[in-house]
Amino acid sequence: MPRYIFCVYLLATLAIVSSLAAPAVNNEEKGSRPAAPGRRCSTIDRRQEWRRLTLKERLSYIKSVHCLHKLPPRVKTGSATNRHEEFQLTHVALTPRIHFVGQFYPWHRHFVTLYSKALHEECGYRGPTPYWNWSIDAEANVPLLESPLFDPITGFGGNGVSGTYTPPTDPEAEIIIFPDALPLEEMWKGCVQSGPFNDTSFHLNVGPGRMITNHCLVRGMDPRRLPELSKASVQRSLDAKSFEDLRLIGEGLGGIHNAGHALVGGEMLNLYSSPGDPIFYLHHAGLDWVWWKWQKADPVARLTDISGPTTQDGTTQATLDFPLEYHAWGVNITIRDVMDSSREPSCYTYE
Ligand SMILES: [Cu+2]
């Protein structure tokens, strides 16, 4: 088995990437700038923690993910074989430009919105967009696998099963893992065999990392990361005095971002291909919920507070005018457009 080396600082050097077969920009897809960013929304998605969805809503959400996984990609030139993978591939293609930078929170905010819109508009999902408040699991005195998030019927299924997956050989070091993860054998434990995304009903053609391979959904859970997702840990983000503090606390070592990825392991621990695991969107909605809560505590100052370098090794600071790119979809918006989630094009709040 190859030895994968990972380190946050390595990412800067890897920023040259994208040898992968990602979709090319298609001008016909251009022009999807929302009619009027900042405009009042006609409807509001009241996002809820997974456990607050009714069982019917949970099943309906899972069904819509399966639907997205069956729909053809919008951009035909990439390696994604369906809409779900198209989101994954978009993330793969942009990874070095959207992590450990000022646009990390805004970019992922809109990414989750786009995914949620796809579930609603293309797959008929009618319920609220779910998020994951990991601190409920961190404070509960029950094994992580008993969390409703990992329920085999009304959740995202369980852990990977040892011995069912062998990562591909990786001579070009295309598999880049989040920092401070478990040893490889444990984090790539195996294919998920239970629940709606098990080995027989759900496969991915994108990943691991920047590779394009047909594989099962891989997990290798690490409940030892739960303390990093405790109420106190979430509060540490909420106590941030500035956006700069918020993003450094959230995305830094020991922060809630890494910990949520490492808690699930496998595909989720892959910095590039993690959106292959459907739980990615609940984890990132959870991070967004923290940012939203933080903004709500002082909207006058915080709905316009943005900072952080625009490139991993650069010094230019992100501003509200910084463009957010979503690869071949041609979505044309700026950070300013997503600062207030209650306005177009986001149109949601958290309950
Ligand atoms: Cu990401």
Distance 39 CA to ligand 1 centre (A): 27
Q: Kindly report the length of the chain.
A: 351
User: What is the rounded CA–CA span in Å between residue 328 and residue 75?
Assistant: 7
Instruction: Tell me the whole-structure pTM to 2 decimals.
Output: 0.90
Ligand 1 centroid to residue 99 C-alpha, Å: 6
CA of 271 to the centre of ligand 1 (A): 7
The structural domains of the chain, with segments of one domain joined by +, span 37-350
101 within 8 A of 311, measured Cβ to Cβ: yes
9 Cα: distance to centroid of ligand 1 (angstroms): 16
Q: Which amino acid belongs to residue 179?
A: P
Structure tokens at 151: 């329920």
325 membership: H or E segment, kind and range: strand 323-325
Q: What distance in angstroms lies between residue 3's CA and the mean position of ligand 1's atoms?
A: 23
Query: In this predicted structure, what is the pLDDT of residue 35?
Result: 55
Distance 270 CA to ligand 1 centre (A): 9
Rounded Cα–Cα distance for residues 81 and 84 (Å): 8
> What CA–CA distance (Å, rounded) separates 198 from 195?
6
Collapsing DSSP states into helix, strand and coil, what is residue 31?
A: coil
**Tens digit of pLDDT at every position of the chain (351 positions):** 333 333 333 333 333 333 333 333 333 333 444 558 889 999 999 999 999 999 999 999 999 999 999 999 998 778 999 999 999 999 999 999 999 999 999 999 999 999 999 999 999 999 999 999 999 999 998 999 999 999 999 999 999 999 999 988 888 888 888 776 677 777 888 999 999 999 999 999 999 999 999 999 999 999 999 999 999 999 999 999 999 999 999 998 889 999 999 999 999 999 999 999 999 999 999 999 999 999 999 999 999 999 999 999 999 999 999 999 998 787 789 999 999 999 999 999 999
Q: Whole-angstrom Cα distance, residue 283 to residue 132?
A: 5
CA of residue 108 to ligand 1 center, whole Å? 6
Give residue 155's pLDDT.
Answer: 98
What lies within 8 Å, CB to CB, of 128 at 6+ separation is 45, 46, 47, 48, 53, 57, 351
CA 266 to centroid of ligand 1, rounded, Å = 15
Distance 274 CA to ligand 1 centre (A): 7
CA proximity to 206, closest of 21, 6, 331, 67: 21
Question: How many whole angstroms from 98 Cα to the centroid of ligand 1?
Answer: 7
- Is the CB of residue 84 less than 8 Å from the CB of residue 69? yes
Ligand 1 centroid–CA 32 distance in Å is 22
pLDDT attached to residue 37 = 86
Q: Does domain 37-350 have CATH number 3.40.50.300?
A: no
Helix (H) or strand (E) holding 190: strand 190-192
257 burial type by CB count under 10 A (0-12 exposed, 13-18 middle, 19+ buried): buried
d(CA 46, ligand 1 centre) in Å: 23
Q: Are 207 and 215 in contact (CB under 8 A)?
A: yes
As beta bridge partners, residue 325 has 332
Q: Find the 87 Cα to ligand 1 centroid distance in Å.
A: 11
pLDDT of res. 25: 33
pLDDT reported for residue 7: 37
> What pLDDT, on the 0 to 100 scale, is given for residue 200?
94
Amino acid (one-letter) located at 329: W
From the CA of 42, how far away is ligand 1's center (Å)? 29
Question: Cα(278) to centroid of ligand 1, in Å?
Answer: 13
Q: Which residues partner with 216 through β-bridges? A: 203
